[in-house]
Structure formats: structure tokens, C-alpha cells
Amino acid sequence: MWALQPAAFGAFGLMYWSGNRWHGGHWPHWGGVLDWTGEPEPDFKWLVELGEFFDKSSGQLLRNPVKATAAVITDFDQRAALEAYAHVPSSRQVLPQAFDALHRLGAGADSVNVEEAVKGGLGKYALVVIPSAAALDNPGFPAALRSYVENGGNVVITPFTAYQSWDGVFRKDGFGGNLADLTGVIVRTARRMGTSADKGREDQHVSWLGGDSPVGIDGYCEYLKVGAETEVIARYRSSEPVLDGQPAATRRRVGKGSVIKLAFWPQDDSVLRLLRELLPAGGNLLAAAVPQGLQAVPRTDGSLFVINTTSRSAEIRLARRALDRISRRSVEDRVAMKPYEVLWLE
């Protein structure tokens, strides 16, 4: 599974690393593909199977790359800012969970850095997600993002975005102030309101998307100042008077597209429902999002990799019967995947 996963995500090479083979090295007992006698290692069989897979399928993989309809904005500055100043212990979770949400929906997602976005690298995507980009201070980025939205793109901006400069200095014009002309929102301040995991506290909730969602990331909540041209699409529901009824998410339509600003990050899967509404409809083998711990990656030939990265069985639901290219077996519209199983469906 670990070897097929990078292939599913578009890798075109696989390097095999073995331990130090020096007689005086730190790990002289570790081997590689062959052991110290020159014979195949005990687990050589899986390597043969992997070689057979690439021998048979490498042409299809190279001719049909990942079909990416979403871009996630992240680069070294954004991740370094969160690492150096984690706003709450869980603030680092938003970035990987954003990728996870897209892959559970079967949407291909590219990681795009800010410099590439400024150069016009967003036009081919239907959706741009900006998850916890704390140091989003490139002066050309707001204009590039506006151009993308005006031409029909959709943007989702999470908490912890545009709080500081690349070197860690906090903004003086309100959090997200450099994006306010596009979002119609400034984050006035933020509070860690707590969750039911804290002694004597309870979950904060948000009413949105026709339901109710508990607030994640340790109950971290932003307080928004919302412009008159911006629609409030979610509000906090809390026993805390200072939070109850405050805007929790907004939408602003600009040109042919829209910008959604989240003031919270949910504990549940509601963000998947939001992203599904913003992604192109049709052309996906999935009938429903795959369970947590699974990843689904589409290719340009209409095929779909589904990877179970967990040690437990999990069921997936397909829109129709399909053929697994790896095992050559036909699978029904409901598939019970084994632990660490990989399917390549067509």
C-alpha cells in the first residue's frame, strides 16, 4: 500500500532505500532487496509483485496523470509560521484535514505555493482552498485571487489565514486584512472557547448547511466583522453570550465566482458537504465520501484509485459496478475494502 500510494497520487518514480551496508556502519545488520548472502530478502515477494504492477501499468499511469480540480495553497512560509507559532495545539491539523476532505470526496488536489498562484497558476482549478495560511503576506496574492474569483473560481478560506508576515510579525490591520477587499470580512479577534474535552466546558456549535456542527481545533473561534455586501451563511450556537449568534461563516460573490470565509473548523464531516457543493459535479465513481482513513484519487482517464491506509476494514459506495485494474476482478457498488488494500477502479 505504501508503495502504490505515491503512484496513485502521481509519482513517476520509486526509490528503494536500504540501511547502511558498511561493515562498521550503524546498521550493519540491515539488508536491502538482497540479504548479506546475496539471496533475496524474506519479504522479496511483495517487491516482485510491485515490479509486475509497474511493468504492466506504468504506461497508463504516465499517460493519465491525476485529474486535479482543486488547489490547496501552502508553502514553506505558511507551514513554518504554524510550526513556530501554533495558535492552539490543534491549529496544525487544518492543513492535512483540508487535503483529507478533498481526497475523501474523490477530488484530485494540487499543492500550489503562493508564488505560483501570483503568477496565474490557479486558472485551471474549480476550487481553491486556503487552509491555515498564517503568513499570507505576498503583496501580489490578493489581486491574483480576485482575478481567479472574478473569472468563476470558488475559494474557501479557513481560520489562521493571513494573520502575520512571513517573519512572524502579526498584522496591524486585522487578521485577513489584506484579503478584506475580496472577502468582505476582517477577523477582529479570536478566542479559544473550549470543547467537551475540557473539564467543565462544552462543545461550541455552528448552525449551517441545514444542520448543526461542533467546533473543532480545541474550540477555537474567530470573531468576524462582516461588510454589508457579504452574506452570513452560518452562526455560532453557544451558551457563551459573547459567542452565541455571532457569524461563523460568510460568502461573498465576486464576478462569476465566490469566496467563503470560515471562522471555525468543524469536528465533524460537514466541511465535506461544503466542498462537494463547490466542486464540479459528475464524472466520479464514488457515490459517497469514503470513510476517514481512506483516500480516493481520480486520473484523467476516468479511473479512480482508492487506498485504505488503516488497519481496519472499511466499506465504500460506488456509483456503479467497476473493474479493479490491479486484481482484474469486478466489484459491486458496495465494496468492503481490506486493511491496507488498494483498488484502481475503472
DSSP string, 328-346: --EE-SEEEEPTT-EEEE-
Inter-CA distances, 103 with 285, 291, 301, 321, Å: 13, 10, 17, 21
> 194 with 77, same domain?
yes
Q: Is the dihedral of CA 318, 101, 284, 293 positive or negative?
A: negative
Does residue 99 lie in a domain region? yes
Q: What are 205's three cell numbers?
A: 456549535
Q: Give the per-residue pLDDT at 41.
A: 82
Q: Give the per-residue pLDDT at 221.
A: 97
Q: Give the per-residue pLDDT at 17.
A: 65
- The bridge status of strand 322-323 relative to strand 314-317 is unpaired
Encode pLDDT of 283-336 as tens digits.
789 999 999 999 999 999 999 999 999 999 999 999 999 999 999 999 999 999
> 90 with 51, same domain?
no
What is the C-alpha to C-alpha distance for residues 95 and 91, in angstroms, rounded to an integer?
9
> 124 with 103, same domain?
yes
Encode pLDDT of 224-237 as tens digits.
999 999 999 999 99
Contact criterion met (CB below 8 Å) for 290 and 106: yes
Does residue 1 lie in a domain region? no
> 242 with 125, same domain?
yes
Contact criterion met (CB below 8 Å) for 340 and 312: no
Contact criterion met (CB below 8 Å) for 275 and 101: yes
What is the C-alpha to C-alpha distance for residues 22 and 122, in angstroms, rounded to an integer?
48
Q: Give the per-residue pLDDT at 25.
A: 58
> 58 with 75, same domain?
no
What residues contact residue 33 under an 8 Å CB cut-off, 6+ apart?
Answer: 16, 18, 40, 41, 44, 47
Q: Give the per-residue pLDDT at 139.
A: 95
Q: Give the per-residue pLDDT at 20.
A: 57
Percent helix, percent strand, percent coil in the chain, to nearest 5: 25, 30, 45
> 227 with 144, same domain?
yes
> 233 with 335, same domain?
no
Tell me how far apart the 2 most distant CA atoms of the chain are, in Å.
75
For cell 479511473, the residue is 303
> 104 with 90, same domain?
yes
Does residue 197 lie in a domain region? yes
> 85 with 54, same domain?
no
What backbone torsions phi and psi does residue 191 show, to the nearest 5 degrees?
Answer: -140, 140
Does residue 289 lie in a domain region? no
Mean pLDDT by 10 residues, the chain (346 residues): 93 72 59 76 86 92 96 96 88 95 97 96 97 95 97 97 91 92 95 90 95 95 96 96 97 97 97 96 89 97 97 97 96 96 97
Q: Give the per-residue pLDDT at 205.
A: 97
What residues contact residue 343 under an 8 Å CB cut-off, 6+ apart?
Answer: 305, 306, 307, 324, 326, 331, 335, 337
> 274 with 171, same domain?
yes
> 83 with 216, same domain?
yes
Does residue 4 lie in a domain region? no
Which CATH number goes with the domain that contains 201? Answer: 3.40.50.880
Q: Give the per-residue pLDDT at 39.
A: 85
Does residue 15 lie in a domain region? no
What is the C-alpha to C-alpha distance for residues 156 and 233, in angstroms, rounded to an integer?
13
For cell 504516465, the residue is 62
Does residue 9 lie in a domain region? no
Sheet holding 294-298, edge to edge: 294-298, 304-308, 342-345
Structural domain range at position 319: 294-345
- Number of folded domains that form the chain: 3
Does residue 11 lie in a domain region? no
pTM: 0.93
> 266 with 299, same domain?
no
Which CATH number goes with the domain that contains 319? Answer: 2.60.40.1180
